[in-house]
Amino acid sequence: MQHNYKWINLIGLILMLVINFAAQRGSFGGQTTAEVSAKYPVLITPAGYTFMIWLLIYAFLIGHVIYSFTRKGKESKVSETMGPYFILSCVFNSAWIILWQYEKINSSVFIMLALLITLIVLYITTQKYVASHTNKLNYWLVSVPFSLYLGWICVATIINIAVALNANQWNGWGISAIGWSIIMLVVGTILAVAIGTRNIDPIAVLVFVWAFIGICVNQQATPTVANTALVLAVFLFLVAIVLVILRWRKKSN
Protein backbone atom coordinates (compact mmCIF):
# COMPACT_ATOMS: atom_id res chain seq x y z
CA MET A 1 0.00 0.00 0.00
CA GLN A 2 2.89 2.37 0.77
CA HIS A 3 3.94 2.60 -2.88
CA ASN A 4 0.44 3.73 -3.88
CA TYR A 5 0.10 6.76 -1.59
CA LYS A 6 1.03 9.20 -4.33
CA TRP A 7 -1.77 7.85 -6.54
CA ILE A 8 -4.26 7.86 -3.66
CA ASN A 9 -3.24 11.44 -2.87
CA LEU A 10 -3.68 12.45 -6.51
CA ILE A 11 -7.18 10.96 -6.66
CA GLY A 12 -8.09 12.59 -3.33
CA LEU A 13 -6.84 15.98 -4.49
CA ILE A 14 -8.75 15.78 -7.78
CA LEU A 15 -11.99 14.81 -6.03
CA MET A 16 -11.55 17.59 -3.48
CA LEU A 17 -11.00 20.17 -6.22
CA VAL A 18 -14.03 18.93 -8.16
CA ILE A 19 -16.24 19.14 -5.05
CA ASN A 20 -14.98 22.62 -4.25
CA PHE A 21 -15.57 23.76 -7.84
CA ALA A 22 -19.08 22.28 -7.78
CA ALA A 23 -19.76 24.03 -4.47
CA GLN A 24 -18.94 27.40 -5.99
CA ARG A 25 -21.59 26.71 -8.62
CA GLY A 26 -24.21 26.01 -5.95
CA SER A 27 -24.33 22.27 -6.63
CA PHE A 28 -24.89 21.44 -2.96
CA GLY A 29 -27.95 22.91 -1.28
CA GLY A 30 -28.54 25.29 -4.17
CA GLN A 31 -26.21 27.98 -2.77
CA THR A 32 -22.54 28.86 -2.79
CA THR A 33 -20.16 28.88 0.16
CA ALA A 34 -20.19 32.68 0.21
CA GLU A 35 -23.99 32.79 0.20
CA VAL A 36 -24.13 30.54 3.26
CA SER A 37 -21.51 32.71 5.01
CA ALA A 38 -23.61 35.80 4.31
CA LYS A 39 -26.50 34.21 6.22
CA TYR A 40 -24.38 33.87 9.35
CA PRO A 41 -22.41 37.12 9.73
CA VAL A 42 -20.02 37.39 12.67
CA LEU A 43 -17.65 40.19 13.64
CA ILE A 44 -14.55 38.22 12.64
CA THR A 45 -15.73 37.35 9.13
CA PRO A 46 -13.07 38.69 6.72
CA ALA A 47 -13.73 40.45 3.41
CA GLY A 48 -14.76 38.21 0.53
CA TYR A 49 -11.49 38.68 -1.37
CA THR A 50 -9.60 37.13 1.56
CA PHE A 51 -10.91 33.70 0.59
CA MET A 52 -8.98 33.93 -2.67
CA ILE A 53 -6.14 32.44 -0.63
CA TRP A 54 -7.71 29.07 -1.42
CA LEU A 55 -6.42 29.45 -5.00
CA LEU A 56 -2.89 29.78 -3.63
CA ILE A 57 -3.34 26.86 -1.22
CA TYR A 58 -4.70 24.60 -3.95
CA ALA A 59 -1.96 25.64 -6.37
CA PHE A 60 0.69 24.63 -3.84
CA LEU A 61 -1.11 21.36 -3.04
CA ILE A 62 -1.19 20.55 -6.75
CA GLY A 63 2.53 21.32 -6.92
CA HIS A 64 3.13 19.10 -3.90
CA VAL A 65 1.31 16.12 -5.41
CA ILE A 66 3.05 16.56 -8.78
CA TYR A 67 6.40 16.71 -6.96
CA SER A 68 5.71 13.31 -5.37
CA PHE A 69 5.72 11.81 -8.89
CA THR A 70 9.11 13.29 -9.84
CA ARG A 71 12.38 11.42 -9.49
CA LYS A 72 13.37 13.38 -6.38
CA GLY A 73 9.95 12.93 -4.85
CA LYS A 74 10.00 9.19 -5.47
CA GLU A 75 13.53 8.77 -4.12
CA SER A 76 12.78 10.61 -0.89
CA LYS A 77 9.35 8.90 -0.54
CA VAL A 78 7.60 12.13 0.36
CA SER A 79 4.11 10.61 -0.03
CA GLU A 80 4.93 7.57 2.08
CA THR A 81 6.29 9.83 4.81
CA MET A 82 2.88 11.47 5.21
CA GLY A 83 1.00 8.17 5.24
CA PRO A 84 -2.80 8.41 4.98
CA TYR A 85 -3.11 11.93 6.37
CA PHE A 86 -3.14 13.79 3.06
CA ILE A 87 -6.08 11.78 1.74
CA LEU A 88 -7.82 12.25 5.10
CA SER A 89 -7.41 16.01 4.75
CA CYS A 90 -9.03 15.81 1.31
CA VAL A 91 -11.96 13.81 2.72
CA PHE A 92 -12.51 16.23 5.62
CA ASN A 93 -12.19 19.27 3.34
CA SER A 94 -14.81 17.87 0.95
CA ALA A 95 -17.13 16.78 3.77
CA TRP A 96 -16.96 20.24 5.33
CA ILE A 97 -17.92 21.91 2.05
CA ILE A 98 -20.99 19.69 1.64
CA LEU A 99 -22.13 20.13 5.25
CA TRP A 100 -21.64 23.89 5.04
CA GLN A 101 -23.61 24.17 1.81
CA TYR A 102 -26.53 22.36 3.41
CA GLU A 103 -26.20 24.63 6.47
CA LYS A 104 -25.31 21.81 8.86
CA ILE A 105 -23.34 24.37 10.84
CA ASN A 106 -22.87 22.39 14.06
CA SER A 107 -21.72 19.27 12.21
CA SER A 108 -19.37 21.36 10.09
CA VAL A 109 -17.50 22.46 13.23
CA PHE A 110 -16.61 18.86 14.12
CA ILE A 111 -15.42 18.16 10.58
CA MET A 112 -13.40 21.38 10.61
CA LEU A 113 -11.75 20.30 13.87
CA ALA A 114 -10.97 16.90 12.32
CA LEU A 115 -9.39 18.69 9.34
CA LEU A 116 -7.40 20.91 11.70
CA ILE A 117 -6.05 17.93 13.65
CA THR A 118 -5.14 16.14 10.42
CA LEU A 119 -3.30 19.21 9.15
CA ILE A 120 -1.42 19.57 12.43
CA VAL A 121 -0.15 16.00 11.95
CA LEU A 122 0.74 16.75 8.32
CA TYR A 123 2.45 19.98 9.30
CA ILE A 124 4.59 18.33 11.98
CA THR A 125 5.44 15.48 9.61
CA THR A 126 6.42 17.75 6.72
CA GLN A 127 8.48 20.02 8.97
CA LYS A 128 10.48 17.01 10.17
CA TYR A 129 10.80 15.77 6.60
CA VAL A 130 12.14 19.08 5.30
CA ALA A 131 14.57 19.33 8.24
CA SER A 132 16.20 16.07 7.11
CA HIS A 133 15.84 16.70 3.35
CA THR A 134 17.10 20.25 2.98
CA ASN A 135 16.72 21.73 -0.50
CA LYS A 136 14.63 24.49 -2.08
CA LEU A 137 12.20 22.13 -3.78
CA ASN A 138 11.35 20.41 -0.52
CA TYR A 139 10.84 23.75 1.19
CA TRP A 140 8.52 25.17 -1.47
CA LEU A 141 6.66 21.97 -2.39
CA VAL A 142 6.58 20.06 0.90
CA SER A 143 6.79 22.65 3.68
CA VAL A 144 5.07 25.76 2.28
CA PRO A 145 1.85 24.04 1.08
CA PHE A 146 1.04 22.86 4.58
CA SER A 147 2.16 26.09 6.24
CA LEU A 148 -0.41 27.91 4.09
CA TYR A 149 -3.07 25.27 4.60
CA LEU A 150 -2.67 24.94 8.38
CA GLY A 151 -2.50 28.70 8.87
CA TRP A 152 -5.75 29.26 6.99
CA ILE A 153 -7.58 26.36 8.62
CA CYS A 154 -6.63 27.72 12.05
CA VAL A 155 -8.35 30.97 11.08
CA ALA A 156 -11.27 29.14 9.45
CA THR A 157 -11.79 27.01 12.56
CA ILE A 158 -12.06 30.08 14.78
CA ILE A 159 -14.57 31.66 12.38
CA ASN A 160 -16.54 28.40 12.04
CA ILE A 161 -16.86 28.11 15.83
CA ALA A 162 -17.97 31.75 16.05
CA VAL A 163 -20.61 31.16 13.37
CA ALA A 164 -21.91 28.04 15.14
CA LEU A 165 -22.16 29.84 18.48
CA ASN A 166 -23.97 32.73 16.83
CA ALA A 167 -26.33 30.40 14.95
CA ASN A 168 -27.21 28.70 18.23
CA GLN A 169 -27.88 32.11 19.83
CA TRP A 170 -25.22 31.62 22.51
CA ASN A 171 -25.43 34.37 25.14
CA GLY A 172 -21.66 34.78 25.43
CA TRP A 173 -21.63 34.34 29.24
CA GLY A 174 -22.36 38.02 29.58
CA ILE A 175 -19.48 39.09 27.31
CA SER A 176 -20.46 41.18 24.29
CA ALA A 177 -20.00 40.04 20.69
CA ILE A 178 -17.25 42.64 20.32
CA GLY A 179 -15.52 41.31 23.42
CA TRP A 180 -15.59 37.74 22.14
CA SER A 181 -14.38 38.87 18.72
CA ILE A 182 -11.34 40.49 20.30
CA ILE A 183 -10.70 37.37 22.39
CA MET A 184 -10.81 35.22 19.26
CA LEU A 185 -8.43 37.56 17.44
CA VAL A 186 -6.00 37.32 20.35
CA VAL A 187 -6.31 33.52 20.35
CA GLY A 188 -5.52 33.55 16.63
CA THR A 189 -2.49 35.75 17.27
CA ILE A 190 -1.20 33.39 19.96
CA LEU A 191 -1.63 30.44 17.58
CA ALA A 192 0.23 32.28 14.82
CA VAL A 193 3.14 33.16 17.09
CA ALA A 194 3.28 29.62 18.50
CA ILE A 195 3.36 28.00 15.05
CA GLY A 196 5.74 30.55 13.59
CA THR A 197 8.31 30.64 16.38
CA ARG A 198 8.37 26.90 17.00
CA ASN A 199 9.33 26.15 13.39
CA ILE A 200 10.74 29.51 12.25
CA ASP A 201 7.85 29.61 9.80
CA PRO A 202 7.01 33.11 8.49
CA ILE A 203 4.62 31.69 5.87
CA ALA A 204 2.09 30.44 8.41
CA VAL A 205 2.24 33.77 10.26
CA LEU A 206 1.64 35.73 7.05
CA VAL A 207 -1.57 33.76 6.47
CA PHE A 208 -2.90 35.17 9.75
CA VAL A 209 -1.79 38.65 8.66
CA TRP A 210 -3.78 38.24 5.44
CA ALA A 211 -6.85 37.08 7.35
CA PHE A 212 -6.66 39.86 9.95
CA ILE A 213 -6.35 42.54 7.28
CA GLY A 214 -9.44 41.04 5.64
CA ILE A 215 -11.28 41.24 8.96
CA CYS A 216 -10.22 44.86 9.37
CA VAL A 217 -11.51 45.72 5.90
CA ASN A 218 -14.82 43.91 6.40
CA GLN A 219 -15.57 45.18 9.90
CA GLN A 220 -15.25 48.94 9.42
CA ALA A 221 -18.74 49.34 10.88
CA THR A 222 -17.31 48.01 14.16
CA PRO A 223 -14.17 50.12 14.71
CA THR A 224 -13.08 48.31 17.88
CA VAL A 225 -12.86 44.97 16.06
CA ALA A 226 -11.42 46.50 12.87
CA ASN A 227 -8.72 48.42 14.75
CA THR A 228 -7.82 45.42 16.90
CA ALA A 229 -7.48 43.25 13.80
CA LEU A 230 -5.26 45.88 12.17
CA VAL A 231 -2.98 46.26 15.20
CA LEU A 232 -2.59 42.49 15.52
CA ALA A 233 -1.95 42.19 11.76
CA VAL A 234 0.87 44.75 12.03
CA PHE A 235 2.29 42.93 15.06
CA LEU A 236 2.22 39.57 13.25
CA PHE A 237 3.78 41.11 10.15
CA LEU A 238 6.70 42.27 12.31
CA VAL A 239 6.94 38.77 13.78
CA ALA A 240 7.05 37.35 10.24
CA ILE A 241 9.89 39.72 9.31
CA VAL A 242 11.88 38.57 12.35
CA LEU A 243 11.26 34.94 11.38
CA VAL A 244 12.44 35.60 7.81
CA ILE A 245 15.67 37.06 9.21
CA LEU A 246 16.12 34.13 11.61
CA ARG A 247 15.53 31.65 8.79
CA TRP A 248 18.04 33.42 6.57
CA ARG A 249 20.65 33.42 9.35
CA LYS A 250 20.02 29.74 10.03
CA LYS A 251 20.65 28.95 6.36
CA SER A 252 23.82 31.04 6.34
CA ASN A 253 25.34 29.20 9.32
Region of residue 173 (left: phi > 0; alpha: psi -120 to 50; beta: else): left
What's the CA angle centered on 27, arms 23 and 32, to 5 degrees? 50
Q: Is the pLDDT of residue 117 over 80?
A: yes
pTM of the model: 0.95
Tallying the residues shown for the chain, one arrives at: 253
Q: Is the pLDDT of residue 1 over 80?
A: no
Cα–Cα distance, 153 to 131 (Å, whole number): 23
- Domain definitions of the chain by residue range: 2-20+43-252
Q: Are 108 and 96 in contact (CB under 8 A)?
A: yes
Cα–Cα distance, 68 to 79 (Å, whole number): 6
Q: Is the pLDDT of residue 66 over 90?
A: yes
What's the CA angle centered on 79, arms 76 and 85, to 5 degrees? 145
State the pLDDT confidence band at 23, using cuts at 50, 70 and 90: very high
